[in-house]
Copies of this chain bind each other. A is one copy, B any other.
Amino acid sequence: MQHFTSVHDVADPAALVQSALELKQSPPEDLLSIGQHKTMVLLFFNPSLRTRLSTQKAGLSLGMQVMVHNAGQGWQLEFEDGAIMNADKAEHVKEAAGVISQYADIIGVRTFPSLTDCERDYQDFILEQFKTHAKVPVLSLESAIRHPLQSLADWVTIAEHRPAHRPKVVLSWAPHPKALPQAVANSFLEWMQVADMDLCLTHPEGYELAPEFVGDTPVIYDQKRALEGADFVYVKNWSPYQAYGQVQNQDARWMISPEKMAVTNNGRFMHCLPVRRNVVVSDTVIDSPRSLHLEQSNNRTWAAMAAIKELLKSQ
């Protein structure tokens, strides 16, 4: 595996899920030697709690040296080729990525979308520039349009609770006061589409995700109908792709409540966190034993460990 930035980087996603489960259930005795004498730099252009701690822990548990750097605290980076750098950007990504490649065996990058420049965001411009100029594997810690470590952990969590039958998995939009990225939703679709799931998507009209991510996944605008018989209800707010980055709908009727969960197949609630309680989901649902949100965040560590292990193999 050259990089870990989307499901397309992974030759066998189901095997990677299996690898994470094995690392969790029976970590090898020589765990600390897997990453010995290897260094990982985690570069944060945006805030992070779960990703920062779980990826750092994954690296340390593999015996790596892990260095965390808040890229936003220093100077700004230039990402445009050929730029005449006489304004506010002090360093080009060519140098930043090239330099860090000499200190690191893996570079983790966390970057959010602008939510104003759709074209550039959907080129995943910043992440791609790092991939172009880094000389070592790039590990996405969430990019403008994807959050693959989250999706891998989500799949691991579903695998742990998989019923005997082919599970029905619903990705449902929910309201939120702020304009959020589409990354988690995009990525979840992408990973679930290659898993053996009965997947559907529900959201208000106008909140369609980018066609390249929706693919053949059925879209049902009636949330209740979509939730009927669901085994897993994955909830997430996102801002529209068409009316890019605008907040057009805060309809509280889309919040996940016990009434919504009642039509599911005793379904499990899932959310990537952070979550706005009583806006996205009611306390009753998230505090119930059917909620998997903490297990998802726990599985972030094992997902990261599996991905890092794979990246180290390729070296």
| A48 CA to B98 CA, complexed, in Å | 16
**A83 in the interface (beta carbon within 8 A):** yes
**A278 in the interface (beta carbon within 8 A):** yes
| A154 CA to B208 CA, complexed, in Å | 54
Residues of B within 8 A of A162 (CB): none
| A61 CA to B37 CA, complexed, in Å | 8
Q: Number of A residues whose C-beta is below 8 Å from B? A: 54
Given contacts A57-B39, A85-B279, contact A273 B95 (CB under 8 A): yes
| A277 CA to B53 CA, complexed, in Å | 35
Residues of B within 8 A of A294 (CB): 95, 98-99, 102
- Asked if A87 and B273 sit within 8 Å, CB to CB, the answer is no
Please tell me which one of the listed residues B39, B100, B274 contacts residue A95 in the complex, with CB atoms under 8 A apart. Answer: B274
Q: How far is the CB of A223 from chain B (nearest CB, A)?
A: 19
- Asked if A86 and B39 sit within 8 Å, CB to CB, the answer is no
**A78 in the interface (beta carbon within 8 A):** yes
Given contacts A47-B74, A49-B74, A298-B102, contact A276 B57 (CB under 8 A): no
List residues 188-229 of chain A with CB under 8 A from any CB of chain B: none
| A279 CA to B87 CA, complexed, in Å | 10
- Asked if B279 and A86 sit within 8 Å, CB to CB, the answer is yes
Please tell me which one of the listed residues B60, B100, B293 contacts residue A53 in the complex, with CB atoms under 8 A apart. Answer: B100
Residues of B within 8 A of A128 (CB): none
Residues of B within 8 A of A287 (CB): 94
List residues 42-97 of chain A with CB under 8 A from any CB of chain B: 47-50, 52-54, 56-57, 60-61, 65, 67, 69-70, 73-75, 78, 82-87, 90-92, 94-96
For this complex, 15 residue pairs linking A to B, each with C-beta atoms less than 8 Å apart, are A47-B74, A47-B75, A49-B91, A49-B96, A53-B67, A56-B67, A60-B65, A78-B277, A84-B277, A90-B276, A91-B274, A94-B287, A95-B274, A95-B294, A99-B297
12 extra interface residue pairs, beta carbon distance < 8 Å, beyond A49-B74, A82-B283 = A47-B73, A48-B74, A49-B69, A49-B99, A53-B67, A56-B67, A78-B277, A82-B278, A90-B276, A94-B287, A98-B297, A102-B298
Q: Footprint of B on A, CB under 8 Å?
A: 39, 41, 47-50, 52-54, 56-57, 60-61, 65, 67, 69-70, 73-75, 78, 82-87, 90-92, 94-96, 98-100, 102-104, 177, 273-279, 283, 287, 293-294, 297-298, 301
7 shortest interchain CB distances as A-B pairs:
A47-B74, A91-B274, A85-B276, A102-B298, A84-B278, A99-B297, A60-B65
